[in-house]
């Protein structure tokens, strides 16, 4: 029987190891069917043997095997839910596996992921290859649960999102892309997952790619749970995006501006004039002093211009009463050093592209004669 075959390999792991790569993967697929359809026939007293069998497999050298290992572990987990758990109310309950040893195994599995690897660890080829294999298996495990709608159990793992964001910065693009897919699926299905603690940790990451992906993730998350955010949460998201407008890395600043523009679109009932004043204050900073001081001031000045850009681009089809003044403030910096000048030109070009169709019949009348002259002057400049 299938159960007898399973028990045979379980008690004779060397026999399993002698299988070909294809044989190992197919055997694990059989186990998935066994766990799914005959879980009640599996003796509970062999759970420790099951764990011992899988422990060395999470770092298997073959990717096809690692993928099946992750899926099989997720299937095993689903077969040992606590009977008291109400699966129909999955979004409101923390799912707990009805076996302390299995719980410990999953927690230990996750704890083997290095969240903030040092350059020395990454340069140790043998150690980092092993780490990459464990990361790969962990992602297969997470994606399997998420795709079947059981992602809530992952939130019970300590530092779950920190682990995924760390893996999203992996040098192996296949692993980093899979981690990003995993994060997107998790954020869509898990309300209240963007906590203040998580945002603060990720926004202070040493990797600018992690900080940038945090902003991209925030775009997806806020849109997916648009109607479920409290005032406190909305303030957290705005504060986070505004803070990263001043990131040392220009790529992060640009992504933060795009994210902020999306937040302005989604949350209309906010004090726009207050944002304009704060952004313009930064945009007016003079770039002087020593070279290091100039660099810092340029970043702060650029953050103000990017904030004004976010406001302008949040209105692709309309001209609210505050937008003409915002455009004029932005145009004052059309001759500033890059990346500021580049931002201004791009923003004004995008504004004109999205408004020119209805310019004469709808939008033009909302601008004063002086404001129209400024817009025309910028449009006709050689660098526009």
**pLDDT at residue 242 in the model:** 96
Q: Which residue has the tokens 């693009």?
A: 173
Top pLDDT among 87 and 177 is at: 177
- String of b and e for 54-80 (b: at least 16 CB within 10 Å)? beebbbbeeeebbbbbbbbbbbbbbbb
| pLDDT tens for each residue of 245-256 | 999 999 999 999
H/E stretch holding 350: helix 340-355
**pLDDT at residue 91 in the model:** 35
At 169, list the tokens.
């910065």
Q: Return left, alpha or beta for 43; rule: phi > 0 is left, psi -120 to 50 is alpha, else beta.
A: beta
**Is residue 383 scored above 60 in pLDDT?**
no
Backbone angles phi, psi at 159, to 5 degrees: 65, 30
**Is residue 301 scored above 60 in pLDDT?**
yes
Contacts of range 192-197, beta carbons closer than 8 Å, 24 or more positions apart:
192/228, 193/155, 193/161, 193/221, 194/218, 194/221, 194/233, 194/236, 194/237, 196/236
* 187 Cα distance to chain centroid: 8
Compute the C-alpha angle 183/187/189, nearest 5°: 120
Nearest to 352 by CA among 329, 325, 372: 372
* 85 Cα distance to chain centroid: 29
Rounded distance between C-alpha atoms, residue 39 and residue 10, angstroms: 16
**Is residue 92 scored above 80 in pLDDT?**
no
**pLDDT at residue 81 in the model:** 55
H/E stretch holding 25: helix 21-37
**pLDDT > 90: what percent of the chain?**
32
Top pLDDT among 233 and 12 is at: 233
**Is residue 45 scored above 70 in pLDDT?**
no
**Is residue 290 scored above 50 in pLDDT?**
yes
**pLDDT at residue 298 in the model:** 95
**Is residue 143 scored above 80 in pLDDT?**
yes
Confidence of residue 83 (pLDDT cuts 50, 70, 90): very low
Rounded distance between C-alpha atoms, residue 309 and residue 293, angstroms: 24
- String of b and e for 189-216 (b: at least 16 CB within 10 Å)? bbeebbeeebbebbbebeebebbbbbbb
Helical spans, DSSP H, in 112-189: 119-123, 125-147, 160-167, 173-189
pTM of structure: 0.81
Confidence of residue 262 (pLDDT cuts 50, 70, 90): very high
Nearest to 167 by CA among 195, 141, 200, 194: 141
Compute the C-alpha angle 106/220/87, nearest 5°: 45
Highest mean pLDDT among 21-30, 35-44, 49-58, 199-208: 199-208
- Minimum mean pLDDT among 28-37, 80-89, 146-155, 372-381: which range? 80-89
Top pLDDT among 135 and 105 is at: 135
DSSP 123: H
Check whether the bond before 339 is cis (ω within 30° of 0): yes
Q: Residue 338 in contact with residue 349, Cβ under 8 Å?
A: no
The residues near 133 (Cβ < 8 Å, ≥ 6 apart) are 58, 59, 60, 61, 66
Confidence of residue 99 (pLDDT cuts 50, 70, 90): low
Exposed / middle / buried, residue 157 (Cβ in 10 Å: 0-12, 13-18, 19+): middle
Q: Residue 260 in contact with residue 245, Cβ under 8 Å?
A: yes
**Is residue 285 scored above 80 in pLDDT?**
yes
């Amino acid at each position: 029987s299938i159960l007898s075959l399973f028990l045979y390999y379980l008690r004779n792991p060397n026999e399993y190891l002698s299988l070909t790569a294809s044989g190992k993967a197919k055997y694990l697929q059989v186990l998935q069917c066994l766990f799914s359809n005959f879980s009640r026939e599996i003796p509970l007293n062999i759970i420790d043997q099951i764990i011992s069998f899988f422990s060395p497999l999470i770092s298997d050298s073959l990717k096809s095997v690692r993928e099946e290992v992750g899926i099989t572990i997720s299937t095993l987990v689903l077969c040992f839910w606590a009977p008291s758990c109400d699966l129909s109310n999955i979004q409101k309950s923390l799912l707990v596996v009805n076996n302390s040893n299995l719980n410990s195994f999953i927690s230990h599995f996750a704890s083997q992921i290095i969240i903030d690897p040092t350059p020395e660890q990454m340069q140790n080829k043998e150690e980092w290859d092993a780490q990459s294999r464990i990361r790969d298996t962990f992602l297969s495990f997470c994606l399997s649960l998420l795709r079947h709608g059981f992602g809530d159990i992952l939130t019970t793992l300590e530092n779950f999102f920190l682990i995924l964001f760390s893996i999203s910065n992996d040098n192996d693009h296949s692993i980093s892309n899979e981690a990003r897919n995993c994060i997107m699926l998790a954020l869509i299905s898990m309300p209240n997952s963007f906590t203040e603690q998580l945002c603060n940790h990720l926004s202070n990451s040493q990797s600018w790619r992690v900080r940038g992906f945090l902003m991209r993730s925030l775009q997806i998350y806020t849109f997916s749970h648009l109607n479920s955010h409290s005032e406190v949460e909305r303030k957290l998201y705005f504060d986070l995006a505004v803070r990263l407008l001043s990131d040392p890395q220009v790529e992060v600043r640009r992504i933060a501006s795009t994210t902020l523009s999306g937040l302005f679109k989604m949350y209309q009932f906010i004090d726009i004039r207050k944002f304009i004043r704060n952004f313009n204050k930064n945009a007016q900073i003079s770039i002087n002093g020593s070279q290091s001081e100039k660099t810092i001031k340029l970043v702060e000045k650029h953050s103000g211009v990017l904030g004004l850009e976010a406001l302008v681009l949040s209105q692709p089809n309309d001209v609210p009463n505050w937008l003409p003044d915002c455009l004029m403030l932005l145009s004052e910096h059309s001759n500033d050093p890059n990346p500021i000048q580049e931002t201004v030109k791009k923003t004004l070009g995008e504004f004109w592209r999205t408004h020119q169709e209805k310019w004469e019949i709808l939008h033009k009348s909302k601008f004063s004669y002086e404001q129209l002259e400024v817009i025309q002057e910028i449009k006709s400049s050689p660098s526009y």
